[in-house]
């Protein structure tokens, strides 16, 4: 049996939501802005290494609000952030093609993308203590 890309993303997101429900609502302690209609999420307890070489803590959540509303809100909150397609140098590699944006603010990353299977918008905040390694 083969799963579609959307199916794999859906399974991963269901696992994320199930874990969030089991862990209870956790507060965003990254220092990055929390979306006002955030449905509660998971705050990473430890610093983790990202594929780009950065060391970050993360907060992941979702909202019923539209992708465009969430993108617009974060653009206003982080006006100096560089805006990039979420698929450019993606942490998911080339396998997943998501609809959304990545905001780069200093060393920090905000991923915002649509979960069309569940009609949700996913928000990932990464507070990083170092810059990404230059890509070759």
Range scoring the smallest mean pLDDT among 40-44, 88-92, 107-111: 88-92
- Residue 134 covered by a domain: no
Return the closest-CA partner of residue 109 out of 63, 41, 67, 48: 48
Q: What average pLDDT does the segment 80-101 reach?
A: 80
For residue range 66-79, list pLDDT tens digits in order: 999 999 999 999 99
- Residue 135 covered by a domain: no
118 vs 29, more confident: 29
Q: What average pLDDT does the segment 57-61 reach?
A: 96
- Residue 110 covered by a domain: yes
- Residue 115 covered by a domain: yes
- Residue 133 covered by a domain: no
| Residues 8/115, Cβ–Cβ less than 8 Å | no
Task: Identify the bridge partners of residue 95 per DSSP, sorted by sequence position.
Answer: none
Domain count, the chain: 1
Q: What average pLDDT does the segment 106-119 reach?
A: 89
Task: Please give the residue range of the domain that contains residue 57.
Answer: 5-128
- Residue 94 covered by a domain: yes
Specify the pTM: 0.76
| The pLDDT of residue 51 is above 90 | no
Local confidence band at 22 (pLDDT 50, 70, 90 cut-offs): very low
| The pLDDT of residue 57 is above 50 | yes
- Residue 136 covered by a domain: no
Summary count for the chain: helices (H), strands (E): 2, 7
Looking at the chain, the whole-number percentage of residues with pLDDT higher than 90 is 55
Return the closest-CA partner of residue 38 out of 128, 124, 116: 124
Local confidence band at 10 (pLDDT 50, 70, 90 cut-offs): very low
- Residue 33 covered by a domain: yes
């Amino acid at each position: 049996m083969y799963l579609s890309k959307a199916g794999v993303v859906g399974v991963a997101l269901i696992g994320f939501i199930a874990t969030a429900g089991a862990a209870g609502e956790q507060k965003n302690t990254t220092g990055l802005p929390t979306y006002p209609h955030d449905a509660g999420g998971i705050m990473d307890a430890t610093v983790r290494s990202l594929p780009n070489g950065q060391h970050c803590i993360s907060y992941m959540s979702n909202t019923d609000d539209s992708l465009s509303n969430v993108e617009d809100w974060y653009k206003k909150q982080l006006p100096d952030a560089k805006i990039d397609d979420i698929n450019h140098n993606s942490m998911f590699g080339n396998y997943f093609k998501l609809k959304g944006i990545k905001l780069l603010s200093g060393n920090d990353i905000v991923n915002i993308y649509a979960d069309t299977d569940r009609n949700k918008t996913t928000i990932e905040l990464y507070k990083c203590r170092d810059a990404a390694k230059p890509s070759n």
